[in-house]
Structure 1
Amino acid sequence: MGTILGIIVLVIDIWAIINIVGSGASLGGKILWALGVLIFPVIGAAVWYFAGPRGDTRAIA
């Protein structure tokens, strides 16, 4: 069960990092957001989802 939970957290964090890199935030903002997600994986991704910049909403295809 722990392995599955770890994989889910990893996938969510990768999703958050990809969205951070593609966001309209400044370079410094992107670095701070990415560090937050890397240091606090579950909380950082959740905060990014609810409070991250919403400037560019196009999908990655």
Structure 2
Amino acid sequence: MQTTYFWAGVAVILVLLDLWIINSVWRSSKISRTKLGWTALVILLPFVGAVIWSIAGPRGVTKGPSSPEHSKG
């Protein structure tokens, strides 16, 4: 029974990681075709896609804070 909870926990973590990756991909400055490719890879091969993305995925986020007040330290 405990192994079932373990694998359920792993699945939840993997889904959250994939959602974070997809969000990061769509916020990048790459073209839409590249974003669709990364999204498809991560959805079709969740673990392998996450590993490949961590090595070769797009870097940088184009959208910054929503207001100047938000970015103050």
Question: What TM bracket, shorter-length normalisation?
Answer: 0.7 to 0.9
For 2:40, give the aligned amino acid.
L
Provide the rounded CA distance (Å) in 2 between the counterparts of 1:20 and 1:43. Answer: 16
For 1:27, give the aligned amino acid.
S
Task: Name which structure has the greater RCO, CA cutoff 8 Å, separation 6+.
Answer: 1
TM-score when normalising by structure 2: 0.72
Q: Which residue of 2 aligns with 1:51?
A: 56
* Aligned residues with identical type, % of pairs: 30
Higher Cα Rg, which structure: 2
Maintained 8 Å contact 2:27/2:63 = no
How many residue pairs are counted as aligned between the two chains? 61
Maintained 8 Å contact 2:27/2:62 = no
Write the mapping of 1:1-61 to structure 2, written as runs, cut at 5 A.
1-56=6-61
Structure 1 stretches lacking a partner, 5+ long: none
TM-score when normalising by structure 1: 0.85
